[in-house]
Amino acid sequence: MTDRMMKAPESGVKVRMYRQGLGDCFLLAFPANKAPAKKTPAKKAGETFYMLIDCGVLMGTPDAAEQMKAVASSIKDSTCGKIDLVVISHEHYDHLSGFGFEGSQQIFKDFTFGQVWVPWVADKTDGQALKLRKDMEMQLHALEITARLMKASGNEKSAAAINELLGVSKKVQEQLQFVLDKKRARAQLYPKPSLKPLTLDNAPGARFYVLGPPTDEKLLHQMDASRDGEIYELARKKRMALVNAVLSLEDKAKTEETGKFLPFDPGLEISEANAKGDEFFRANYGFGSSPGQGAEWRRIDADWLMAMEELALAYDHFLNNTSLALAIELTKSGKVLIFPGDAQVGNILSWSQLKKEEDEDGHSSMDELFKRTVFYKVGHHGSHNATLKEKELEKMASKELAAMIPVNQEMARKKKWNMPFPHLLDALKEKTRGRVIILDQDLPKNRPQELSQKEWTDFKNNVTETEHYFEYTVNG
Ligand SMILES: [Zn+2]
């Protein structure tokens, strides 16, 4: 036990948001069990139960490696290198890269993790997950082929963009394996969503509700509110047809020097020059805007590979929706904290479809959890489609509600991402009456007029602001 260790409140939880840049890294401290059950690692009275949710920063962040080394070193000082529960919300670099830089990895190497929780979609023993992973692997493989063909056809820029995604995706898998490595992770869990909360012997003051990712694939594929899951299901089928078309090129790409990026057998192909001279092709596939020319969009040539760029984006967005979303309920006060990862619309909608089972008396429904929510980690860095107004934010009825947004606005601007989305930020400020803590901004100096003097003083007393993190204490 050192002075620098993070101490839990007597009753409740302390939530620390690191300020490393655009990315998530949250360290939570709960009071630990004073009389631990036999099987759990013994904890002395008054010791703290530590939980880490994600630890990463976006690629391209200035001084990312040094930033994450400082974060890792702070976590080590704060926990003595023993974290009881690590949650990896989803497989994105801005949530995992802290485990990948040389300096920070060197520090995390000697940590012990009591348990590691990862979304069920990463469970290699789960049938549904395996099916999903197979689709994902096919997409990655098709993207590899696409990048190669694009390069061969002179489209270096698109090829480079796809290769970057592939490179990052590989790194993220290595970072995830580092966290799950049995050398440091005592147990691994891939929990499915349920209103039957998980409890841990050495954290008696908290119950953990796994809300997402949904097992309903329509919802799993739904990214925004303007279109329903059916449309995403259809889009997914179309994408897989495209993926199969690209994969079918592979043998040819390997064995033939010519015609590498053509989708058909050379014996079936007609050169562009020949097609231009043929009335049927002119009338049906058009080569310009002069009269008698048909619709040009019918032609595919090498253009069809461009659709794979969209697929690459869709693949990346989909990962957000595989977020392990959690509601943490403090058993004594009933207060709730929500950590949705980067869950998008379908994931959030699925929470309210979770049903209480008959034998779950005393457990809470989603509406009850929303009603008692006093802390909300804003999803996906404050993007427009990761917090629902009516079906989420407006249901949070507690007068105590506060929110944290892990966003760096300079980086978001560079990426041309509208984060935090202005309407959402307004809604959050209204709902929390000004108690919104933003990673890259100082706390407001003056009392928001909607808060009473006492509420403002209480809030300020519960927040610690340093250069490296914000800490917020929820008593209860
Ligand atoms: Zn993220």
Torsion of CA 454, 457, 458, 459, to 10 degrees: 120
Does residue 9 register a pLDDT over 90? yes
In the predicted model, is pLDDT for residue 22 greater than 90?
Answer: yes
What would the pLDDT profile of 160-182 be if each residue is shown by its tens digit?
A: 999 999 999 999 999 999 999 99
Tokens of 89: 């919300």
Q: Is the pLDDT of residue 46 over 60?
A: no
pTM of the model: 0.87
Ligand 1 centre to CA of 33 (Å) is 32
CATH number for the domain whose boundaries are 12-126+167-226+316-475? 3.60.15.10
CA of 24 to the centre of ligand 1 (A): 7
Q: How far, in Å, from the CA of 308 to the mean position of ligand 1?
A: 23
pLDDT per residue as tens digits for the range 408-440: 999 999 999 999 999 999 999 999 999 999 999
Cα 94 to ligand 1 centre (Å): 5
What confidence tens digit (pLDDT) does each residue in 354-393 have? 987 765 556 788 999 999 999 999 999 999 889 998 899 9
Measure 237 CA to ligand 1 centroid, in angstroms.
26
State in Å: Cα 238 to ligand 1 middle: 27
Report the separation in Å between the CA atom of 443 and the middle of ligand 1, taken as the mean of its atom positions.
22
How far, in Å, is the centroid of ligand 1 from the Cα of 380? 5
* Interval between CA 323 and ligand 1 midpoint (Å): 10
Q: What confidence score (pLDDT) does residue 359 get?
A: 57
Cβ atoms 467, 401 nearer than 8 A: no
As residues whose CB is below 5 A from the ion ligand 1, the structure lists: 94, 342
In whole angstroms, what is the distance from residue 412 CA to residue 409 CA? 5
- 23 CA distance to ligand 1 centroid (A)? 6
- Residue 26's H or E segment, with its range, is strand 25-31
The listed range with the strongest mean pLDDT (7-16, 28-37, 274-283) is 7-16
Q: How far is the CA of 438 from the centre of ligand 1 (A)?
A: 15
Domain boundaries, the chain: 12-126+167-226+316-475
Which residue's entry shows tokens 């050495």? 202
Q: How many angstroms separate the alpha carbon of residue 15 from the centre of ligand 1? A: 18
Query: How many whole angstroms from 92 Cα to the centroid of ligand 1?
Result: 7
Q: Answer whether 275's CB lies under 8 Å from 281's CB.
A: yes
CB-based contact 342:323 (threshold 8 Å):
yes
User: What is the three-class DSSP state of 472?
Assistant: strand
Question: Ligand 1 centroid vs 240 CA: distance in angstroms?
Answer: 25
What band does 228 get if pLDDT is binned at 50, 70 and 90?
Answer: low
C-alpha distance from residue 103 to each of 87, 91, 283 (Å): 21, 21, 63
Q: How far is the CA of 142 from the centre of ligand 1 (A)?
A: 25
Whose tokens are 């990673």? That residue is: 439
Q: Which H/E stretch holds residue 200?
A: strand 198-200
pLDDT digits (tens, 9 = 90+) for 324-348: 999 999 999 999 999 999 999 999 9
Which H or E run includes 246? helix 229-247
What is the CA(381)–ligand 1 centre distance, in A?
6
Q: Give mean pLDDT, residues 16-31.
A: 98
CA distances, 209 to each of 191, 296, 325, 476 (Å)? 10, 53, 8, 18
